[in-house]
Amino acid sequence: MQKNRYYFVQRKVSPLVHLGNEWDKILEGEFKKDYYKTLREFLKKEYSTYTVYPNMHNIFNALKHTSYSDVKAVILGQDPYHNPN
């Protein structure tokens, strides 16, 4: 029986959140903190129990589509999510 040649290669664990731009490096420390891990577990339960908006894969869309170097101002608010569309 031939062993898989990749058997001894250590697999790199993917980050909890991958944004694909500068935000990954800027926020990597935050995603490792206890408060974020607690919040993530809470959200996982909420998403598995209720209908929650936005879709869990869209939570960080603003950061995915805008690199840190392009940000001039951040406006915080609540979008009126009330249905899938």
Amino acid making up residue 11: R
Listed in order, strand segments (DSSP E) in the chain are none
> What is the model's pLDDT at position 39?
94
> What is the model's pLDDT at position 74?
83
Tokens of 2: 């031939």
- Is 70 among the residues known to form the active site? no
Do 15 and 31 contact (CB within 8 A), yes or no?
yes
- Per-residue burial over 62-71, b if 16 or more Cβ lie within 10 Å, else e, is ebbeeeeeee
| Spans of the chain below 50 pLDDT | 1, 7-11, 13
> What is the model's pLDDT at position 85?
64
